Amino acid sequence: MAEEHHVSHFAMHIDGSEAPKEVMDQLLDCVIENSLHLPDVCTIRIHHGEAGKQGMYQFIDSPTFAVGKSMKITGGEGPSGNSTLFEGEIAGVELDLAAHGVPTLVVRCFDKSHRLHRGRHSRSFQQMTDSDIVQKVGSEAGFSVDADSTSEVHDWVMQNNQTNWEFLQERAARNGFRLFVRDGNKLCFKKVQDEGRAKHTVEWGKELRSFRPRVSATPQVKEVEVRGWDPKKKQVIVGKAQTAQGVPKVQQDKQGGAVASRAFGDAKMVVVDRPVHSEGEAKAIAQSLCDEIGGSFLEAEGLCYGVPQMRAEDMVKLDNVGQRFSGEYLVTSCQHTYTPAEGYATTFTISGKKPQTLLSVLEGDELTRRAPIGGNIVVAIVTDNNDPDNQARIKVKYPWLTEEHQSFWARVATPMAGPERGMLFLPEVDDEVLVAFEHGDIRRPYVIGCLWNGKDKPPKTRQESFSSSKSVNGGKTTRRWIRTRMGHILEFFDDCDGKVGATLRTAKGYRLQLRENDERIEVITKNKHMMLLDDKNDIIRVVDKTNENHIKIATSDNSILVESKGDITVKSKQGNITLDAMKKVTIKAQQGIEATTPQQVKIEGTAGFSVKTTATGSVEASILNLKGSATGTLDGGGMLTVKGGLVRIN
């Protein structure tokens, strides 16, 4: 019954036309490989004539197999039932002239996805979903795109010196999607999910010629958990998945995680080294990993008589292979082989999402490949800053890893440090910090900086929140500042709204302002008392909050002014008070001048002295002596009266 499958029909179309008869007559074999992970490949081997005979190089020298021509292969059990096995383009031609053997022309063709492997690109995508990105890249490469929609809108995604295929495969893996090309020019971006009914049925003893299934519970887990950090909300991001999609549906109907848990106990895979931006993205990656791990529980290879409709991503039903292994499988890759002598056969591989290539075995999968322990720069939350050894170290926890454990004491990097000197700005408990590890060892953390986030925002000054537009002008930072938890602020201005200088301000409003563009320094208290040092006007001024009591020193005329609305008192408790002037001392008062001392009052004028009043004048003492060393004169002007109990003249 199986022999009837050996009768096969095979056709080759080059640039839309059937291959010449002489080509088909010399066909040695044709092998077509399609996979969920790589471009479809068609390898055609043609007998190239015998050495020394005419026409030996007829195919290699003719334009029939020119690079870039389209190639379409169809096959089946009859001319009317032929199906398309391959559709692509010629990418390479080889000539094999062996010392002993048949001269052979080898033609290698790829589906058009090979174009996505050509060249590396660096560019960014902003405010786009992954399905939008696939649509854009695919359209630019000349594909029609069939993409299942994704909901996550990314603020910014970078294609980092990657081929388009590498980049789109990465986006597919993060969403639990598959990327492949169908119908020659259709780029598909499809979610991994449990398919409906199987498209093909093969039975051992009939279509199925060999089958090698294997079950391995070793890597299976009950749950996959992806952990990350949300800087906007300052909280951990967690995404979980427990049920794999797109895995075989066999009669035992148990997923690998359940089988492994029953046999060996529960296990969980936690992924912490894949940055995520939302819970939705974390869940998508968790589901993708769950699909990959679950798909490796039951793997198989099979060989059957030609099934031209079978392709990677198809569901195939296998019958009569025992209760354990009978059921439906998702084809990961398949190979169609045609030789004129042996006919047409199909081999298939079941391996879930894991590509069965040498490179994948050597490198591991992109999502599950583990970074060195502590090999990345990570965020952390401060849990303790009271270093018992007084070395200004802190302890942190890694919320993306675990909420229950904290680090050892981490040294804090600072712009300057040395014996009894340096800059000390110690983070506080619950601050978010950036941590690096010495040689990737998580036991040796270093705090290299502190971070703001959506909850802990940049500092406020003058009751206005931080705004880059207020602090940046023409690409230059015009304002910088330091603000403590209590609100003490040190602020620097580099031509910010016309201001140049610095301000030191306490939480209660005491200020020191260095205003370089105004050439002045101001010291202002919370009650508006002020001291001014003004280089532009060459004055020093101290003034109270009323602006009516002040001291002014003016360099321009070398004057000092002390002015008060009330009393002015100059007092020395234990020393002397001296008024010394190169010219004269003038004392004026509207309501009188009084000089009082329990000691002697002495007024001495080297050139003379004068006491004058326009009203009545009086000099009174217990004993009064008026004496002139040379001469003396008493002049009444009009009348002079000298009076005493006893008056003695000469």
User: What are the pLDDT digits (tens) for 300-323?
Assistant: 999 998 888 888 888 889 999 888
361-383 mean pLDDT: 64
> What total of structural domains would you count in the chain?
5
Show which of 296, 316, 331 is a domain's final residue: 296
Please give the pLDDT value at position 22.
87
187-242 per-position pLDDT tens digit: 999 887 766 677 888 999 888 999 999 888 888 899 999 998 888 888 999 999 99
Please give the pLDDT value at position 355.
60
Q: What share of the chain is helix, strand, coil (3-state, %, to 5)?
A: 15, 35, 50
Residue 534 lies in a domain: yes
Q: How confident is the model at residue 253 (pLDDT cuts 50, 70, 90)?
A: low
Structural element, H or E, at residue 540: strand 539-543
Across 155-164, 264-273, 618-627, least confident range:
618-627
Question: String of b and e for 258-278 (b: at least 16 CB within 10 Å)?
Answer: bbbbeeeeeeebbbbbbebbb
- Residues 377, 92: Cα–Cα separation, whole Å: 44
**Looking at residue 262, what DSSP letter applies?**
H
**Looking at residue 360, what DSSP letter applies?**
H
Please give the pLDDT value at position 502.
93
Higher pLDDT, 4 or 277: 277
Residue (of 247, 308, 240) closest to 269 by Cα position:
240
Same domain, 88 and 137: no
C-beta of residue 181 within 8 angstroms of C-beta of residue 154: no
Q: Residue 186 belongs to a domain with what CATH number?
A: 3.55.50.10
55-92 per-position pLDDT tens digit: 566 777 788 899 999 999 988 765 556 788 899 999 99
Please give the pLDDT value at position 361.
45
Show which of 240, 264, 296 is a domain's final residue: 296
Same domain, 182 and 262: no
Q: Residue 392 belongs to a domain with what CATH number?
A: 2.40.50.230
- Residues 411, 391: Cα–Cα separation, whole Å: 8
Same domain, 123 and 182: yes
Residue (of 83, 173, 79, 76) closest to 134 by Cα position:
173
Residue 88 lies in a domain: yes
- Residues 460, 245: Cα–Cα separation, whole Å: 50
For CA atoms 186, 192, 193, 196, the dihedral sign is positive
C-alpha Rg value of the chain to the nearest Å: 48
Residue 41 lies in a domain: yes
> Encoding tokens for residue 388?
């018992």
In Å, what is the CA distance from 573 to each residue of 40, 570, 576, 602? 104, 10, 8, 21
Same domain, 155 and 231: no
334-354 mean pLDDT: 85
Same domain, 120 and 107: no
Same domain, 483 and 556: yes
Same domain, 167 and 90: no
Enclosing domain of residue 39: 8-114
The DSSP bridge partners found for residue 71 are 14, 88
pLDDT at position 360 over 60: no
Please give the pLDDT value at position 413.
94
- Residues 15, 89: Cα–Cα separation, whole Å: 9
Show which of 276, 296, 316 is a domain's final residue: 296
Residue 433 lies in a domain: yes
Please give the pLDDT value at position 10.
81
> Encoding tokens for residue 179?
């990327």
Same domain, 475 and 440: no
- Residues 483, 492: Cα–Cα separation, whole Å: 12
Neighbours of 602 (CB within 10 A): 6
Q: How confident is the model at residue 6 (pLDDT cuts 50, 70, 90)?
A: very low
The DSSP bridge partners found for residue 96 are 104
> Encoding tokens for residue 455?
């909850």
Q: How confident is the model at residue 339 (pLDDT cuts 50, 70, 90)?
A: confident
- Residues 378, 236: Cα–Cα separation, whole Å: 13
Please give the pLDDT value at position 358.
45
Q: What percent of the chain has pLDDT over 70?
A: 90
Across 19-23, 211-215, 506-510, 616-620, least confident range:
616-620
> Encoding tokens for residue 357?
């290539």
pLDDT at position 271 over 70: yes
C-beta of residue 442 within 8 angstroms of C-beta of residue 373: yes
List, as one string, the DSSP characters of 265-303: ---EEEE-SS--SSHHHHHHHHHHHHHHHHHTSEEEEEE
Phi-psi region for residue 80, left (φ > 0), alpha (ψ -120 to 50) or beta? alpha
Residue 17 lies in a domain: yes
pLDDT at position 369 over 80: no
Residue 252 lies in a domain: yes
pLDDT at position 630 over 80: no
487-545 per-position pLDDT tens digit: 899 999 888 888 889 999 999 999 999 999 899 999 999 999 999 999 999 999 999 99
Same domain, 69 and 156: no
**Looking at residue 167, what DSSP letter applies?**
H
Same domain, 439 and 516: no
Please give the pLDDT value at position 495.
83
Q: Strands 223-230, 83-96: parallel, antiparallel or unpaired by DSSP?
A: unpaired
Please tell me the pTM assigned to this model: 0.68
Most confident by average pLDDT, 144-153, 284-293, 361-370:
144-153
CA atoms within 13 A on the CB side of 236: 16
Average pLDDT, the chain: 85
Please give the pLDDT value at position 252.
62
Residue 595 lies in a domain: no
Q: How confident is the model at residue 373 (pLDDT cuts 50, 70, 90)?
A: very low
Same domain, 12 and 105: yes
Residue 201 lies in a domain: no
3-class state of residue 476 by DSSP: strand
The count of residues in the chain is 650
C-beta of residue 511 within 8 angstroms of C-beta of residue 504: yes
Q: Strands 121-128, 154-162: parallel, antiparallel or unpaired by DSSP?
A: antiparallel
- Residues 85, 183: Cα–Cα separation, whole Å: 10
List, as one string, the DSSP characters of 121-161: EEEEEEEE-HHHHHHHHHHHTT-EEEE----PPEEEEEEEE
Same domain, 15 and 88: yes
Residue (of 11, 30, 82) closest to 339 by Cα position:
30
CA atoms within 13 A on the CB side of 175: 25
- Residues 43, 29: Cα–Cα separation, whole Å: 8
Q: Residue 45 belongs to a domain with what CATH number?
A: 2.30.300.10
Please give the pLDDT value at position 184.
79
> Encoding tokens for residue 544?
């109270």
Across 47-61, 452-466, 570-584, least confident range:
47-61
C-beta of residue 86 within 8 angstroms of C-beta of residue 73: yes
Q: How confident is the model at residue 432 (pLDDT cuts 50, 70, 90)?
A: very high
- Residues 129, 150: Cα–Cα separation, whole Å: 6
